[in-house]
Structure 1
């Protein structure tokens, strides 16, 4: 792209805003060198990179780029044998650590299920030099100081240095604290001159100290003397410092050699880190300006939905729709000055440049951008003072240059085409220029004041009119772009609003030819029709949205109803099949059991016959009941839960028959079963016909007498008593008792213990206790049944 066009469209200001989001100098360098790309596939790749960066920010909210610096100069110096300083080595270790963190960060997101193919490819080749990182960190601390632990020699030398330093300070402290020396010193302090410890001695006492003079005061009255008593120690300290320096250089050289061995790999990592910093800077910028990823093409289609100029403050910018393609490649925008024509032109050009640079653009989702080989622009007053060219000459020079380069892969932006000369000649030139550019196949957006160009779109296929809206009532532009409608100057309406006499306005109108009046009337009619159509379209869209929402809601409700219906039917069918199979199996087992009793009548126990009979009747009744079916009418349910006194019923939970004694409330009845009266819920009752029941052809004996709520075992042998307890419990359970009493007496306690063990191990006994006061005490055991 031409540098001049980038400046006109203020591309450099977008790059400057983007630069603020770079995390390091690595990404900043790439941003500063950013230019639009003209190859469609490359632009698509850049857009995907930015999109993946935006996905990461949306999921994690940040990108860990801390500790990474530009170490390329240090790496290159290590490759030619240079010794790196401690700070340089620490920066290298920090960058290696940052590389590892960045790679793990991206791969962790991928492992969680997010697809990041481009970012994954970038980090997949980054293998952090962990051994070099450990070597550096074991020798140099975060402040860049070579640690004692870097080598045993360094540790020993520094130990000697601390010893010498301590002894020197001790001797000097003794000197300045000595009462005999106080009057000889200018001050009782120890200081350093030329790297040696000295004391300030008065000139006249120079001989009293001996040693070496390293400095003197400006007046010469004070000499800074290193006393003879510490000279030898100072010499040894300096020798130790020299050894320390040599050892440090040895350590740094070794680390530099290790760095040189890994330099090529590290240089590659730095380039990849720079690319990542650049990508995430673009993603952060997109988030800041609320930008979206555009769809890209090379067929000349542009559709910017609610486009916003990124350099206009968010609270001031007016979103506009810009459309090129769909049957036309040229747009002629007309309208008053300060109405937003130039902003529309710049928005189109700048957003195209941004998209071709891999940046997301401030538009709504679904916006479309064409990728152009070149973008040309003639915008603003570019009069050249040096060349003494007029405004018209300056623009025409620029247009001539554009016409010599434009082709079918170009976007051309003309602002106030033909302005600055005679209106009639300017309009004719504008038409000719537009024709030349249009027939070369370029996409064109042009702004103009000339009325002749308003008819241009109606005469040529592939060209459309547009205008910027102006509110005559408020005398202010709305900055809205109206596609398909040419603009009016509104000069007469504005003048009338401002108070210009009507006679002058009418006289001015009479000076305009009939054709121009007809065009203005046609435009006014088009504007009115457009507003009516927009209002009707908005109302229709609102009604359509409401109907669509209701339709979707009804559709969802119907689908939900059908799913629930199928679920309930399937569930009822499954339960019915399961219950029938279970009842059939139970009935079969009972019949086989009863047939076995017929073959061995001498072994039959009465309570077992009663239990088998009850279970068989319950199973046969359950088979005949329509419980496996779904109740379909309210009448059936009502008949089942409404009974009259004296009516014969069956208690479903017990499998026993009885009759209604009294209706206690709509949901509960008093029912007599044998000699017992019980409160039974209506839902647990079923009406039965008042006639003799058909019984299974099985010879069984029933209980000969009603079961009591207590069993007396006093005087019984232990074995007989246990048999009686078993039989009694079965009868009590069949009778529906919740609590029974076993009388065993106190005696030796053997019978009492046996009864309690029997009861505690019975599956239908809930709890066991001794009788209380008035219940027989420890001679009676009370059992609560389940």
Structure 2
């Protein structure tokens, strides 16, 4: 399976898989066994004078039976499965008469038939006769020996060295004329072949040698008969492997509910209800559903710049598009609605993954820049590219500027693709330049929950200030942060991608467990989990916190529950998807003070909810400002059990290790 941009080849591969998927759905009987790789047997048989053994021919016979069934199936259904039927061209030279020849000689158990030759038939008949005569002689001698008390009590005849023998007590061995083949472990019993049976046994051995010579003679002749058919059998092996592979692809397509989108030569990517197949399978095993993705790129909107909060689904969206496009161009059906459309690209560029490492900071960013160098040198109108967290890994003012320049260059080259970012300048560039388009991952600020829904045409927000406010960061800190955001960040005003707050009705009264409340100082809506003295444990979306009851006011449950239910239907929090995005390391280097507060809060909360015990926050040493802010925030978080410096060899005071409760 290889990536291809050849329209005819990819279309053929997709059609083959789609047709086999129809065979599976129809329930029609299709061969399911003996898809054997015949190559080892053919290599052995091609040498003059060599011969295949009975087991080898049994395998070849099974494969020929499968080939015969396949030929019959596709000849009968050529109009229903025209693309698969074309594969019969590989079998045009195959002579199924070979199957009949082998079947005459090799039976269903892989043994040579007695009537494979007249000589073999006579030899085996003589062996049967001599074995019967031997049994009679041995039975008579054994009864006589037992009557004389020569054998141990309860002893019976057995076989040693391939010959029938009689167990005789060691002290009586000279009382029976014959040949000793073995003795017991204790030496108290010897196993003897009576003299009278010796000649018969020797005759049987001679007959067995004759049988083996005749079998080899027949196998050699059969191998000679097969040798001219080796080229045709090689093609038949390719056919079997290809059909088996197509069936595997069809089974996977059926399991992932995949289909074939319309493949058009115009450059477009218009998918409806696209799903990441592996993520969907994982969710199904948990009884959960995935949030489908709708995406359309083409014309004047080729490069999608996705922004939004951390863990909001940006990377999953990018990886979904990248994986499905790659699957498509390797001939796999993809989990999208059948009405979806797609085109093929010559080049597939990827820069995904984060190798953040304190000791390797420059080389990490340099590796990304090397990828960008390759992209800008070789990208063109037939390129699709995917860049995750564009520009990160260095100081924001430099990383953002370089990323902006690279983005404009890629756009000028006419490339297609999906890019994720946090940089505001890239959102502005996407908003102003034809060929680029903004995308946002929707987020429910009130519930502090990502919705995993992509909106194209709108830039996203990290909702840092909103989240900081909801989790209780002081107004003084927030005001300072707002004052330092800068006019350039206000230049582009994104349309709201967050869900509007529900209408809240304050009803007052005594607060009880299970009630919905609003925090008086910041308006956050929460559910009361439990009460203890004058404090309440509340749940704000995915976050839990303990607050004074005096800070809460009871609100009407009705409207809030409707909103919560609607959010649950749209999203559904699932641990599996969170774990796909979650990293045990949080790198704050290059961030500003007001940026790191919500990042740390989200990082700790995510880790706590996912059951992670040990986390690592990289802030660097410098003047120690980021370290102090980080330590101060962690000190006041209930989920944190212990905070300490990393080992000196792995960053020392530049890294904070966090142990969660």
The verdict on a shared fold, with TM-score over 0.5 as the criterion, is: yes
Aligned match for 1:149, one of 115, 120, 123:
115
Q: Which residue of 2 aligns with 1:487?
A: 460
Aligned partner of 1:90 among 37, 44, 58:
58
Q: Per the alignment, do residues 42 and 181 of structure 1 end up closer, same or farther by CA in structure 2, a change over 3 Å counting?
A: same
Distance 1:425 1:321 in 2: 33
Find out whether 1:378 has 2:345 as its counterpart: no
2:539 aligned residue: none
Question: Within 5 Å, which residues of 2 pair with 1:151-170?
Answer: 151-170=117-136
Q: How far apart in 1 are the matches of 2:496 and 2:368?
A: 35
Q: 2:298 maps to what in 1?
A: 325
Residues 85 and 477 (structure 1 numbering): CA distance in 2 closer, same or farther, change over 3 Å? same
Judged with a 3 Å threshold, the aligned counterparts in structure 2 of structure 1 residues 60 and 200 are, in CA distance, closer, same or farther, namely closer
2:212 to 245, 256, 269: 245
Question: What residue in structure 2 maps to residue 119 of structure 1?
Answer: 84
> Structure 1 residue aligned with 2:71, among 83, 92, 103?
103
Distance 1:490 1:230, change over 3 A: same
Give the 3 Å change call, closer, same or farther, for CA 62–487 of structure 1 in structure 2.
farther
Native 8 Å contact 1:438 1:444 kept in 2: no
Change (3 A) 1:194 1:388: farther
CA gap of 1:238–1:295, structure 2 versus 1, over 3 A, is same
Contact 2:361–2:393, Cα closer than 8 Å, also in 1: no
Instruction: State the Cα distance separating 1:341 from its structure 2 match.
Output: 0.6
Greater per-residue helix proportion: 1
Match of 2:451 among 465, 469, 478: 478
Indicate if the aligned counterparts of 1:191 and 1:199 stay in contact, CA closer than 8 A: yes
CA contact (8 A) 1:50 1:359 kept: yes
CA shift at 1:52, angstroms? 2.3
Quote the Cα distance in structure 2 between the aligned partners of 1:103 and 1:194: 49
Kept after mapping to 2: 8 A contact 1:382/1:395: no
Q: Which residue of 1 aligns with 2:656?
A: none
Residue deviations 1:640-676 (CA, integer Å, cap 9, x gap): xxxxxxxxxxxxxxxxxxxxxxxxxxxxxxxxxxxxx
Larger Rg: 1
CA distance in 2, matches of 1:433, 1:133: 64
State the shift of 1:142 in Å: 1.6
Answer yes or no: is 1:129 the counterpart of 2:95: yes
Q: What's the secondary structure of 1:68's corresponding residue?
A: coil
User: Cα offset for 1:480?
Assistant: 0.4
**1:211, 1:225 within 8 Å by CA — same for their partners in 2?**
yes
Q: Distance in 1 between matches of 2:323 and 2:122?
A: 66
Is the partner of 1:420 in helix, strand or coil?
coil
> CA contact under 8 A between 1:467 and 1:481: conserved in structure 2?
yes
- Quick check: 1:374–1:411 contact (8 Å CA) kept in 2? yes
The whole-number CA distance in structure 1 between the counterparts of 2:172 and 2:53 is 46
Q: CA deviation at 1:56?
A: 2.8
Q: 1:229 is matched with which residue?
A: 196
Cα distance, 1:220 vs structure 2: 3.8
C-alpha displacement of 1:440: 2.2
Q: CA deviation at 1:180?
A: 6.6
TM-score, normalised to structure 1's length?
0.59
Residue in structure 1 matched with residue 494 of structure 2 by the alignment: 523
How far apart in 1 are the matches of 2:489 and 2:480? 15
Structure 1 residue 472, shift from structure 2 partner: 0.8
**Partner SS for 1:434:** helix
Give the total of aligned pairs: 491
Deviations 1:262-314 (A, max 9, x none): 22222212211222222222222211111111222454311121110111025
RMSD: 2.4
The answer to whether residue 403 in structure 2 is matched with residue 430 in structure 1 is: yes
Render the CA deviation track for 1:717-747: whole Å, top value 9, x for unaligned: xxxxxxxxxxxxxxxxxxxxxxxxxxxxxxx
Alpha-carbon distance, 1:373 to partner: 1.8
Report if the CA contact (8 A) 1:384-1:394 is conserved.
Answer: no
Equivalent residue runs for 1:289-308 within 5 Å: 289-308=256-275
**For 1:656-699, what per-residue CA distance to the aligned partner results, in whole angstroms no more than 9, with x for missing partners?**
xxxxxxxxxxxxxxxxxxxxxxxxxxxxxxxxxxxxxxxxxxxx
Question: Which of 236, 240, 256 is the matching residue for 1:269?
Answer: 236
The equivalent of 1:344 in structure 2 is: 317
Alpha-carbon distance, 1:71 to partner: 1.8
- Change in 2 beyond 3 A, CA 1:374/1:215: same
User: Is the Cα contact below 8 Å between 2:258 and 2:335 reproduced in 1?
Assistant: yes
Counterpart in the other structure of 1:653 = none
Partner residue of 1:403 out of 358, 376, 396: 376
Structure 1 regions of 5+ residues with no counterpart?
A: 1-33, 530-786
Alpha carbons of structure 1 residues 123 and 385: separation in structure 2 relative to 1, 3 Å: farther
Q: Give 1:447 shift.
A: 0.9
Task: Tell me the distance in 2 between the aligned counterparts of 1:237 and 1:392.
Answer: 80
Matched, 1:66 2:44: no
- Distance verdict in 2 for CA 1:179–1:35, change over 3 Å: closer
Task: Quote how far apart the aligned CAs of 1:202 are.
Answer: 3.0
Structure 2 partner of 1:171: 137
Give the Cα separation in 1 of the matches to 2:297 and 2:5: 19
DSSP 3-state at the match of 1:329? strand
Kept after mapping to 2: 8 A contact 1:93/1:133: yes
Mapping 1:32-43, distance limit 5 Å: 34-43=1-10
Shift of 1:410: 1.6
Kept in 1: contact 2:443–2:498 (CA 8 A): no
Normalising by structure 2, report the TM-score: 0.70
Contact 1:384 1:390 in 2 (8 A): no
* Contact 1:374/1:410, CA 8 A, preserved across alignment: yes
Report the CA distance between 1:360 and its aligned residue.
0.9
Higher relative contact order (CA 8 A, sep 6+): 2
Cα distance in 1 between the residues matched to 2:496 and 2:183: 100
Compute the displacement of 1:484 (Å). 0.1
1:454 to 2:421 alignment: no
The 1-side partners of 2:204 and 2:255 are apart by 60
Distance 1:335 1:261 in 2: 66
In the other structure, the counterpart of 1:334 is: 307
Asked if structure 1 preserves the Cα contact closer than 8 Å seen for 2:349 and 2:384, the reply is yes
Where 2:165 maps in the other structure, the secondary structure is strand
Q: Which residues of structure 2 form unaligned runs of 5+?
A: 501-661
Q: 1:164 to 1:136 in 2, by over 3 A?
A: same
